[in-house]
């Protein structure tokens, strides 16, 4: 029986790998025999120098959904698999959270709370000018998900009970998604546009001034993918003009510098790239890695293999 040496950090999440074949030997530091690497945040901090200590490396299983910054450092011939699927729950919950927050104007009410102001005018209880724009719900809304992969499907599953119409766009047309060339037709229909596409040369600044001009007045843009998918300068202009609103977990540049105009733009909610950050995401990622190790040991095809920086997950 051929021995397979797997490098995985020896933290509490290692138990989530589950039972492994007898042929698999787990190590917690680089050795020349390692051929399968579970790349978690701690080991990611050692890239690319780590690879020089792993001459027998054949597979990298990342715990991260996005691997575009990793791929350029990977030695030739080494297979990379992303952590796609491990972040479905946490990222989709972030998207639902900010969508509801924006629709219900919660950021505005948080500001009123800081001021100690009780404003019931949006509800129609009191008369006069309100400090808060009209509150809306999401039933009957059309949500366009650009990047209709694993996380996109998780978002759709959570939206449908709200009575929402979901439209999907993927890299290529499928039975459940249109191709990107349909965006000029789809964007004007959407009350909410969710960006989940991978970052490539083709998708950088996908959301530009033209894209933003196609959005409905009052529509919400949600970006939970990569900041460079959106032209930040064009977004700042659109926000200041008051035509759209936005919720961003990622920005360009990132981190967003102090004093950047996006911080003070109206109608925007910003979180610091924490959409996937829940206490259990790493456990899900190691569970996926365990499945991949078992597949590898059995000679079965791996999931989420990256081609040209994009994980083939469907």
Pairing of strands 4-7, 268-270: unpaired
φ/ψ of 52, rounded to 5, equals -70, -20
Work out the burial of residue 282: count CB atoms within 10 Å of its CB; fewer than 13 is exposed, 13-18 middle, 19 or more buried: buried
Using only C-alpha atoms, what is the Rg of the chain? 22
Sequence-distant (6+) residues with CB within 8 A of 156 are 143, 145, 148, 166, 168
CA atoms within 13 A on the CB side of 143: 29
Q: Rounded CA gap, 191 and 109, in Å?
A: 22
Contact 84, 311 (CB under 8 A): yes
Is 254 one of the annotated active-site residues of the chain?
yes
Q: Rounded CA gap, 238 and 16, in Å?
A: 45
Contact 293, 310 (CB under 8 A): no
Is 284 one of the annotated active-site residues of the chain?
no
Pairing of strands 165-169, 142-146: parallel
Query: Which position among 68, 204, 254, 312 bears the catalytic label?
Result: 254
Query: Which position among 87, 105, 226, 284 bears the catalytic label?
Result: 226
Q: Which of 163, 137, 296, 162 is nearest to 220 (CA)?
A: 137
Query: Which position among 273, 294, 295, 303 bears the catalytic label?
Result: 273
Contact 295, 301 (CB under 8 A): yes
Q: Which of 215, 30, 203, 18 is nearest to 6 (CA)?
A: 30
The long-range contacts involving 49-55, CB below 8 angstroms and separated by at least 24 positions, are: 51/75, 54/7, 54/30
Active site residues: 226, 254, 273
């Amino acid at each position: 029986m051929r021995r397979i040496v797997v490098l995985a950090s020896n933290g509490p999440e290692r138990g989530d790998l589950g039972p492994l074949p007898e042929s698999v030997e787990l190590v917690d530091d680089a050795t020349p025999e390692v051929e399968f690497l579970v790349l978690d945040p701690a080991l990611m901090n050692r890239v690319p120098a780590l690879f020089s200590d792993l001459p027998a490396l054949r597979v990298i299983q990342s715990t991260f959904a996005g691997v575009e910054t990793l791929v350029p450092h990977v030695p030739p011939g080494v297979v990379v698999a992303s952590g796609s699927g491990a972040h479905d729950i946490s990222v989709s919950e972030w998207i639902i959270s900010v969508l509801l927050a924006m629709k219900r104007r919660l950021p505005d009410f948080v500001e009123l709370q800081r001021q100690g102001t009780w404003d019931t005018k949006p509800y129609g209880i009191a008369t006069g000018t309100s400090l808060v724009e009209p509150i809306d719900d999401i039933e009957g809304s059309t949500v366009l998900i650009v990047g209709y992969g694993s996380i996109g499907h998780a978002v759709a599953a959570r939206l449908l009970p709200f009575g929402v119409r979901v439209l999907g766009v993927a890299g290529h047309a499928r039975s459940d998604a249109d191709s990107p060339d349909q965006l000029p037709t789809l964007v004007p229909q959407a009350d909410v546009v969710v960006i989940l596409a991978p970052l490539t040369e083709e998708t950088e600044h996908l959301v530009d001034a033209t894209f933003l001009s196609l959005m409905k007045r009052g529509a919400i843009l949600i970006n939970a993918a990569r900041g460079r998918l959106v032209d930040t300068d064009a977004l700042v202009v659109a926000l200041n003009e008051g035509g759209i609103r936005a919720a961003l977990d990622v920005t360009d540049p990132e981190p967003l510098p102090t004093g950047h105009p996006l911080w003070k733009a109206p109608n925007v909610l910003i979180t610091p790239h924490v959409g996937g950050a829940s206490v259990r995401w790493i456990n899900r990622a190691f569970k996926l890695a365990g499945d991949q190790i078992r597949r590898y040991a059995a000679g079965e095809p791996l999931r989420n293999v990256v081609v040209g920086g994009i994980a083939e997950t469907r």
